[in-house]
Structure 1
Amino acid sequence: MEATVGPLDRFEASKASGFSYAQIGASEDCAWSDVLALIERVGPALLRHVERGEVGRPSLDVAFFVQEDRVTASLLVPNDVVAAIGRFGFDLEASAYVVSA
């Protein structure tokens, strides 16, 4: 897989589900333009891996931090990023982490 998508931060072959798990990480301060460039670069190769049944459906997991004294938080994902993940069959996940003020 690294030959087609580049370096992986994590890879786990799964015997139970038949799908492998692969993760490519990005820094916390990564700009949306960098996320879009990554999706455009790895999307076509990941789509082929999914079609061959080598990995499960890809997802973009966006982490954001919420101050513990807040009641609500929101996340805006730019439409060009949403369009790119949709084009390559990605799901979008948002992971919120509560942090001390």
Structure 2
Amino acid sequence: MTGSEQMGFRALADPTRRNILRLLAANEMTIAEVAENFDMTRAAVKKHLSILSDGGLITVQVSGRSRVNALNPDGLRRVFDWFSYFDAFWDERLDTLKSEIEKDMQ
């Protein structure tokens, strides 16, 4: 796992950051717009956004004095791909277990 992937998982570990990602999935938002949805300071929201950006899960574009945050689908794709490996792993193991149980029942 690369450093960026590790940062992505760290970013996803926090429920507030997952909620921020849900917001950004619907619309690009400035720090102030994101902050309106949470009971925390702008500084705290900015820190969460920085962690999401460091993890490659969002992109940040400077537009004048504003920083516009947007979901980065490619960052989420890396996380999804990693989880997909384990999804397939467990599907295979459970299919094997099911076959063994069915053999024992006959």
TM-score above 0.5, yes or no: no
Write 1 or 2 for the structure with the bigger share of helix: 2
In the superposition, the TM-score normalised over structure 1's length comes to 0.29
Write 1 or 2 for the structure with the bigger share of strand: 1
In the superposition, the TM-score normalised over structure 2's length comes to 0.28
